[in-house]
Structure 1
């Protein structure tokens, strides 16, 4: 008799059981109205503040629910996971709470701050193994150990108990909301949160539209939904590290295919500007993945007017050393930061003339590097210029060309841009 594959869909009773298990483990994060975005968009915009969770992301929910489900024998053998971020912290705290030994594989380039956080949450119950240059390297090493030692692997998203744990975010939102919710915007990486949340809304609030949001440089779920099959991307932009995967989960894809109403992407630069806006206007600190849902709101500004809208802020584990890059990407996205190769004419005083006559009154040089270390005033240089208004770019280029300073524009040459800047 031919074996048939049964489609997995999280059941309400399993999500309620997960919520009960997590009762004294996770924080019931607030569902808060945000005045800034509510006024700007003419909607009632609410933030589900998983950035305030005890490990500063929702990942503890799925990790704990999975590890807690293991048998006594499985607990005795210990668990293994691979992660460079939030999942590792969730697993570490879960091991500490349950008294289970865990080994966490992380790639060598993982920031020291994240490694220290994992150690802090896991204490004596976890060992950290730095392995390989990428998450995929660490993942393969973790899977190999599980196979050889008979240990349980705690997947970051493509696992039924993990999905049911993440679904408790949606379960909480429904119970916290004082009015029916029209839209929920949910970030998508591997799809664990999106599949869990959308399935619980399908049961308890089926008229709510669930909108998935991915970074533009890693549209794994969007691509898979458009093709109708789970598709691995050959190359991704990893800046939004909490939501940048080459392939979403097989289980999560099937659920999202059923219950997501729309799947959109947001440019990384837009995410960066959102991070800065949240900090400057609302004193909210989020990681790039945590800003995805808010960054997507402008795409729906006409559709959500007068509606009750929830954005899930998925995490706040942001490394402060990334601030300069976040600001830079935001300026590039807003077309306010521009890089040029400037060819200084073969005469003395050319640099002085460039500053006095070529730059506009509101233009600011933020990067300057000669490509040759000798003959400085008579050679090409890479120059970064920050503008006050987008409209100032064309006149600036015209002045460069008319005075024979213009060499090349680098913003639209990504390979050369990354090499020189």
Structure 2
């Protein structure tokens, strides 16, 4: 990107346009993270935004910039949730009609929130398994009804609105050294980076994606936007199959690094934020903080801002989040166990094979007609991941035949 491109974004006008619409979110010093990483860690709390994510900024900036004649037939968007809520809020605020397409897997909480913010001004259509599926439907609807499509990320006005996150960060903390941001479609990273590189060229800008949806990393490897065949949809706020053309250009030139974070690590971060700081974040909102382990050698003594992008987490997902965290941390393991054909084998397993701090979290015989001697699916939770080797050794010593399902992804997905 040449040096004039960022100036096509009118940061001042966007800030003025959003002044009485969005909440100026706090930039909070986090003592726990700062102590752990020996750095000054600040959290930009976009999870405390009106719609509990930064997406309102770009949506409102785009819609409010449209000429009146384009709003007669209303607007339409596609979203995994947060952009939908930003568009819904904007529609109600501006008194226009909006039709919002969301994937069928969107958490119910996000659908309810969309209706809450948009009221009678919006209609929600659930379609497809991914953001990209519902995007196709939204574009078709837009063409048929002549409704103006509001892109979730690949649009200059949307990027311009997201840039106001960077404006607030710099105003509150001009001496920052690094900003870590989640990357889904790339709108937030593009806007924040474009502004900060303009006012503080030496700032380090880090983009972070979920390991299961590396659309920006893959685009950078291929020299342009590239459609991924499959993605892990767990981090729904940052899981897209294809990055935008505009956002790719911004991020390619302005981001200093891109990092991929395993979904399990993201889950561990969600739980820590909740338990230690009483902060509720969605998976995408935890991305920047989850990346600190990978950045720890770079941030010692530095002033670092992590953008917490959203807090729209459905309580119904918490069990899944805990499970993914335990698996990632090496604390939960699943086995197929074939018990020796001798009396008391199950009692022996519980009393002698399991460690004193180990818990059986799941037990079921796979063959319903052979409950005494048939194989069983057994889930075991450890208190310390280092106990795993001794657990395996005891299984071997007592002649229990096992298959480690954590090591066999196909069997794991089929049985667990």
**TM-score if structure 2 supplies the norm length?**
0.97
Per the alignment, do residues 252 and 294 of structure 1 end up closer, same or farther by CA in structure 2, a change over 3 Å counting? same
Does 2:193 correspond to 1:225? no
- Hey, what does 1:265 align to over in structure 2? 260
Residue correspondence of structure 1 range 343-354 to structure 2 within 5 A: 343-354=338-349
Query: Matched residues in 1 for 2:244 and 2:282: separation?
Result: 22
Query: Matched residues in 2 for 1:31 and 1:371: separation?
Result: 52
User: What's the secondary structure of 1:65's corresponding residue?
Assistant: helix
- Hey, what does 1:87 align to over in structure 2? 83
Query: Matched residues in 1 for 2:320 and 2:9: separation?
Result: 44
Query: Matched residues in 1 for 2:227 and 2:12: separation?
Result: 33
- Return the offset for 1:13: 6.1
> Which deviates the most, 227-236 or 251-260?
227-236
- Return the offset for 1:109: 2.9
Does 2:20 correspond to 1:17? no
Which of 308, 311, 323 is residue 306 of structure 2 equivalent to? 311
CA contact (8 A) 2:362 2:378 kept: yes
Report runs of 4+ in structure 1 exceeding 6 Å deviation: 5-8
CA contact (8 A) 1:7 1:254 kept: no
User: What's the secondary structure of 1:407's corresponding residue?
Assistant: strand
- Return the offset for 1:272: 0.6
User: What's the secondary structure of 2:10's corresponding residue?
Assistant: helix
Residue correspondence of structure 1 range 190-269 to structure 2 within 5 A: 190-269=185-264
- Hey, what does 2:400 align to over in structure 1? 405
Listed as ranges, the gaps of 5+ residues in structure 1 are: none
CA contact (8 A) 2:131 2:240 kept: no
CA contact (8 A) 1:10 1:199 kept: yes
- Hey, what does 1:107 align to over in structure 2? 103
Does 2:334 correspond to 1:328? no
Per the alignment, do residues 132 and 296 of structure 1 end up closer, same or farther by CA in structure 2, a change over 3 Å counting? closer
Listed as ranges, the gaps of 5+ residues in structure 2 are: none
- Return the offset for 1:374: 2.7
Query: Matched residues in 1 for 2:231 and 2:290: separation?
Result: 19
Which of 288, 294, 300 is residue 289 of structure 2 equivalent to? 294
Per the alignment, do residues 175 and 239 of structure 1 end up closer, same or farther by CA in structure 2, a change over 3 Å counting? same
Query: Matched residues in 2 for 1:108 and 1:232: separation?
Result: 21
Query: Matched residues in 2 for 1:331 and 1:282: separation?
Result: 20
Does 2:206 correspond to 1:176? no
Per the alignment, do residues 109 and 252 of structure 1 end up closer, same or farther by CA in structure 2, a change over 3 Å counting? same
> Which deviates the most, 48-57 or 396-405?
396-405
> Which deviates the most, 372-381 or 256-265?
372-381
Q: 1:135-190: CA deviations, max 9, x gaps?
A: 3332111101111222110011001110000011001100111x511000010000
- Hey, what does 2:152 align to over in structure 1? 156
- Hey, what does 1:37 align to over in structure 2? 33
**TM-score if structure 1 supplies the norm length?**
0.96
CA contact (8 A) 1:87 1:156 kept: yes
CA contact (8 A) 2:132 2:240 kept: no
- Hey, what does 2:378 align to over in structure 1? 383
Q: 1:233-254: CA deviations, max 9, x gaps?
A: 1111111111111111100000
- Return the offset for 1:11: 2.2
Count of aligned residue pairs for this structure pair? 416
- Return the offset for 1:12: 7.2
Query: Matched residues in 1 for 2:98 and 2:291: separation?
Result: 37
Query: Matched residues in 2 for 1:130 and 1:223: separation?
Result: 28
